Amino acid sequence: MTSRKPRVVLGVSAGIAAYKVCELLRRLTESGHDVTVVPTEDALRFVGEPTWAALSGNPVSARVWDGVEGVPHVRLGQSADLVFVAPATADLLARAAHGLADDLLTNTLLTARCPVVFAPAMHTEMWEHPATRENVATLRARGAVVVEPASGRLTGKDTGPGRLPDPAELFEVARRVLARGAAPRDLAGRHVVVSAGGTREAIDPVRFIGNRSSGLQGYALARTAVARGARVTLVAANVALPDPAGAEVVAVTSAVEMREAVLEAAADADAVVMAAAVADFRPAGYRDSKIKKTDGAEPEPIRLVKNPDILAELGRERRAGRVVVGFAAETDDVLANGRAKLARKGSDLLVVNQVGADLTFGRPDNAAVVLGADGSRTDVPRGPKEALADTVWDLVAERLFPGEEAGHASVRG
Ligand code: CTP
C-alpha cells in the first residue's frame, strides 16, 4: 500500500454530456484523487480548458505536442491507477477499439496498463449501430469496463438509451474499479440479474402489504457487478435509491410483476441473484375502490393466497451455466434453516443473514454465511454490504469458471 493519492486520468471526448463530467471531476478531487483531465480537441468546444484546469488543479492539454520534454503521451498512461473516459463518444470508442493514437487521449489509452472505464453517451441510433456494438464488445473483451448508458431524454426531443449516467453514480463506478485494482474484471461480457427491494401486494388503490427491505444489498450487488465488467439487469421493487450507473433498472411493484421481469431477464443470464424480499402471500382479491370504515361494522378479514416462488422456479429450471443465488432472512436456527431452504429452493448458493428489528434492514452493513449446494460454507464478517456483494460475485465466478483461481477461500462443512 502506498500513501500517495490515486492517480486518475479523466478522458473527455466531444459530447454535450461533458458538462456533467465537471461534477464527476469535483467528486474525484474532493475525495483525494490526483486527476489529470485529458480532453479531445473537440471536447474543448463543449467545456473549455480553464474549467478543467481549475477543477483538477492540474494543467490540461489535448495535444501530444505540448510539454513534449515530459513525454506526456507515454507518462500519463504509465503512471495512472485508473483511466476513466466520460463521455465516451462513438468516435472515441471506435478509435480506442482500433488502437488509433492520433491525440493525447488515445495515446494514453494505449500506454495505460491500469483499469480503463468508458462511460459512453450518444444518440440511441449511434449506440445501437452494429459498428458501435462491435467496438464495445472488443473493448470489453480486452478487459475494459464499458458502462451501459442510461435511458431517458437525450439532447433534442428524442429519448432512449444513450444518456450519460448520473455523475454521483459514475463516481461510485470509479471508486469501486480503483478499489479492485489489478483484480480481473471477471464478469466482463457476462449478463447478471439482481432483484432488490421489497414487493408490495395491493389490498386496494391506497393500501398494500409490504416489508422493510431497503434495497441496499441488491443495489450493492448491482454496483459491484458493474465494476467487475458485467451487464446488469436490476429488477427493483419499491426502492428509493438512485439508479446505479451501468445497470438497466426494471421497476416492479408486486411479486407477480417481479416474477415476470426476472424470468424474462434470466433467459440469457449467467447468474441470477434474488436479493429482493418477495412477499410469500398476496390478498386474494383486489378491491378497485378504497375500503371505507363505513363498509361494515366489523373489518372484513383479508384472505391471502400464495405468490409464485421465483427462486424455487429458477432452481427447478436448473439451466447449465447459470448460477442461481438466493437470500434468506432468518431470525433463529440460522444455519439449519438456511441448509433446509437451500435444498428446498434448489439454488446454487444461499446467503443467510440473521434479521431482527435492528439488524440488516436499512443498515449499510451486513454479516452473513453463504452456503453452497456443494456443501461449502463461507463466513462473511460484519462489514459494508458491498463487501458481502463482492464475496457473492467471487463465489458466482468460481462456479461460472470452475478450476480457475478463486478470489478467496471457502471451507467445506
Ligand atoms: N423468494 C422468491 N419468491 C418468493 C419468496 C421468496 O423468489 N415468493 C426468494 C427471495 O428473493 C430470497 C429467497 O427466496 O432469495 C428466500 O426467501 P424467504 O422469504 O426467506 O424464504 P421462504 O421460502 O419464504 O421461507 P420462510 O418464509 O419459511 O422463511
Atom of ligand 1 nearest to the CA of 307: 8
Report the C-alpha gap between 314 and 309 in whole angstroms. 9
Atom of ligand 1 nearest to the CA of 312: 7
Q: What are 41's three cell numbers?
A: 480537441
Same structural domain for residues 173 and 206? no
Report the C-alpha gap between 346 and 313 in whole angstroms. 9
One pLDDT digit (tens) per residue for the chain, 413 residues: 457 999 999 999 999 999 999 999 999 999 999 999 999 999 999 999 999 999 999 999 988 888 888 887 788 999 999 999 999 999 999 999 999 999 999 999 999 999 999 999 999 999 999 999 999 999 999 989 999 999 877 667 777 889 999 999 999 999 999 999 888 888 988 999 999 999 999 999 999 999 989 999 999 999 999 999 999 999 999 999 999 999 999 999 999 999 999 999 999 999 999 999 999 999 998 888 888 887 667 888 899 999 999 999 999 998 889 999 999 988 888 889 999 999 999 999 999 987 765 555 566 778 899 999 999 999 999 999 999 999 999 999 999 987 665 444 333 33
Residue 327 counted as an annotated binding residue: yes
Same structural domain for residues 196 and 237? yes
Domain boundary among 180, 215, 241: 180
Query: Smallest Cα–Cα separation from 351: which of 406, 392, 396?
Result: 392
Q: Return the residue whose CA atom lies nearest to atom 3 of ligand 1.
A: 309
Residue 161 counted as an annotated binding residue: no
Q: Return the residue whose CA atom lies nearest to atom 27 of ligand 1.
A: 280
Residue 44 counted as an annotated binding residue: no
Q: Look up cell 491500469; give the residue.
A: 114
For residue 267, how far is its CA from the centre of ligand 1 (angstroms)?
21
CA distances, 167 to each of 98, 131, 359 (Å) = 28, 27, 31
Strand arrangement of the beta sheet that strand 82-88 belongs to: 34-39, 7-12, 82-88, 116-120, 145-146
Same structural domain for residues 176 and 195? no
Q: Return the residue whose CA atom lies nearest to atom 24 of ligand 1.
A: 280
Same structural domain for residues 88 and 200? no
Ligand 1: lining residues by beta carbon, under 6 Å: 255, 274, 276, 278, 280, 307, 309-311, 326-329, 341
Q: Which residues contact 312 (CB under 8 A, 6 or more apart)?
A: 344, 345, 346
Report the C-alpha gap between 83 and 75 in whole angstroms. 13
Q: What are 229's three cell numbers?
A: 465488467
Query: What does DSSP say about strands 191-197 and 271-274: parallel, antiparallel, or unpaired?
Result: parallel
Strand-pair partners of 325 = 273, 349
Same structural domain for residues 201 and 121? no
What stretch of H or E contains 321? none
Atom of ligand 1 nearest to the CA of 311: 7
Residue 413 domain flag: no
Which residues are part of the catalytic machinery? Answer: 211
For residue 277, how far is its CA from the centre of ligand 1 (angstroms)?
7
pTM attached to this predicted model? 0.91
CATH of the domain at 126: 3.40.50.1950
For residue 186, how far is its CA from the centre of ligand 1 (angstroms)?
28
Eight-state DSSP code of residue 185: -
Report the C-alpha gap between 347 and 331 in whole angstroms. 21
Strand-pair partners of 365 = 384
Report the C-alpha gap between 9 and 35 in whole angstroms. 6
Same structural domain for residues 163 and 201? no
Sort residue 67 into left (φ over 0), alpha (ψ -120 to 50) or beta: left
Residue 248 structural domain: 191-401
Report the C-alpha gap between 168 and 164 in whole angstroms. 11
Report the C-alpha gap between 376 and 382 in whole angstroms. 19
Residue 308 counted as an annotated binding residue: yes
Atom of ligand 1 nearest to the CA of 326: 15
Same structural domain for residues 85 and 127? yes
Q: Return the residue whose CA atom lies nearest to atom 21 of ligand 1.
A: 328
Same structural domain for residues 25 and 88? yes
Residue 309 counted as an annotated binding residue: yes
Q: Is the dihedral of CA 292, 294, 299, 303 positive or negative?
A: negative
**Domains identified in the chain, total number:** 2
